[in-house]
Amino acid sequence: MHPAFRAAVGGMVTASVWLALSGGVCGQPPGLDAREKADAARKKAREDARIALGRALFVREWVPDDRRTHGGDGLGPVFNDRSCLGCHHQGPTGGGGGSAATNIELITAVPAGAVASGSNGFYYAFSFNYGPDGFEYHIGEPPGLNANANANRGRRDARRHAGAAAPNVAELVRIHPGFRDAPSVVLHRYGNDADYRSWREWVLGDHGAIAIRTSQRNPTPLYGLGQVDAIPDEAIEAEARRRHPGWPQVNGRVARLADGRVGRFGWKGQTANLRDFVLSAAAVELGLEVPGHAQAGDPRIPPIRAKGLDLDQDECDALTAFVRSLPAPTAARPDGQRTTVARKLGRSLFRSTGCAACHVEKLGEVEGLYSDLLLHAMSPDLSDTSSYKAFQAAEPPAPAPARVVPAGARGGRANRPPALEEWRTPPLWGLRDSAPYLHDGRAATIDEAIRLHGGEASASAQRYRQLTDRERSLLQGFLLSLAAPDVPDLR
């Protein structure tokens, strides 16, 4: 094509788009600026349509054998709720769950009749090794607060208990096949099959030498997660190197995944990016087959591949785009001079009480997050299983080979999975609208949540207890000004 002709065709196309957008009232050929505007408008329209589709998928109530899939089987075979909105609706769409009824339930196998030590009892830790020595695992006491000492003790216990004292893997797998891959597995609330309910009750019962312990996870609000996703890894790593004058026990570490990536989502910082979390939520919570994530499987039958996809790539992109589009929480507007002053005082108490050492106000470019996204060792009372998985309807892919830990990450602690007492600092933005609090929602109020802080946070919690009633209420007043964003309620 002759260059001049090509330019003319290009001009005609642009002109017609531009005329369409401007209502066709102007006879002048558009300049570069108008063309850019038209491109931007088209791009925005596409993005808006994508978010609208994502919103529809977020609120969609799935049914078994749903006809809206791509050859998939819809909801289930096992699931925890029928829609994302079912657990993320508080304050309003995209928030937390608002009550224990939306918590997800995990099970862990422990030796029956073990003498409880601390509130957590004995725990069972599992390391799977398919080498010539077969499985290796150990039973030990709940770790105290010194993570390094625990790692050493864990290794000693592993040597002591490898083989003989450990429960038989076959027995564990007979209770739940998910125990083959992880120490704790998601016990789904519902199954499409009518007998699932009674099977579930059987799992929760006694099994000879093995007892099943249950624990819970509280749904986190999803506001502002697009911004959290965009925080550079380096900002989180820098936060882990920072020391806190006056609060020497605060010693957070990066939640590094087995493959070396920086974890930032989930109560244990177990997931590296938003897309991964959204897709695995679809697979685990709703039992949807999505690209790269096999749907949760019925544990009573051997893994079988799903018939087809429940959500295709475009729909997964749309669902992620919708979650990414949820605005960040905001500070509620003070209703007068007195509130403004009280809030300032509360905020400075937040700093002077040591809260801001972990609940960092600004991380990367994100203002008002109140989190360092690092793992901190909390009190033994808050200890709970380190990692969990869902049994999948297909064999999980082989784990990725471990990557070299980047320079700057701290020695032996760097790649360890979170210890039982380690939790990622939850962002406090939106706090007013996200009760109940803590990883299992055990704290009904902010005051209760703070009083349960221990371990690295014990000096700070101690300082909080020593405040006067008036100071405590100023501090709480400040925290209660952190509100969910104003988004439409889609329920």
**Which residues lie near ligand HEC (CB under 6 A)?**
80-81, 84, 86-88, 102, 104, 217-220, 222, 225, 250, 265-267, 274, 277-278, 281-282, 285-286, 319, 323, 353-355, 357-359, 376, 378, 382, 423, 425-426, 428, 431, 434, 437-439, 446, 449-450, 453, 456-457, 460, 464
Q: Which CB contacts under 8 angstroms, 24+ apart, belong to 348-356?
A: 349/467, 349/471, 349/474, 349/475, 349/478, 350/475, 350/478, 350/479, 353/460, 353/463, 353/464, 353/467, 353/475, 354/244, 354/246, 354/247, 354/250, 354/457, 354/459, 354/460, 354/463, 355/460, 355/464
Shortest Cβ distance from residue 242 to ligand HEC (Å)?
A: 12
Do residues 295 and 192 lie in contact, with contact meaning Cβ atoms separated by under 8 Å? no
Give Cα separations from 216 to 175, 192, 224, 413 (angstroms).
19, 22, 24, 26
Shortest Cβ distance from residue 245 to ligand HEC (Å)?
A: 14
Cα radius of gyration rounded to whole Å, the chain: 25
Nearer to ligand HEC, 129 or 445 (CB): 445
Do residues 218 and 436 lie in contact, with contact meaning Cβ atoms separated by under 8 Å? yes
Nearer to ligand HEC, 14 or 80 (CB): 80
Encoded tokens for 22? 């401007």
Shortest Cβ distance from residue 107 to ligand HEC (Å)?
A: 14
Do residues 142 and 120 lie in contact, with contact meaning Cβ atoms separated by under 8 Å? yes
Q: Across-strand partners of 185?
A: 107, 389
Nearer to ligand HEC, 237 or 310 (CB): 310
155: which residues sit within 8 A by CB, 6+ positions away?
Answer: none
Nearer to ligand HEC, 14 or 371 (CB): 371
Nearer to ligand HEC, 14 or 93 (CB): 93
Nearer to ligand HEC, 212 or 278 (CB): 278
Do residues 240 and 254 lie in contact, with contact meaning Cβ atoms separated by under 8 Å? yes
Nearer to ligand HEC, 34 or 85 (CB): 85
- SS3 state of residue 99: coil
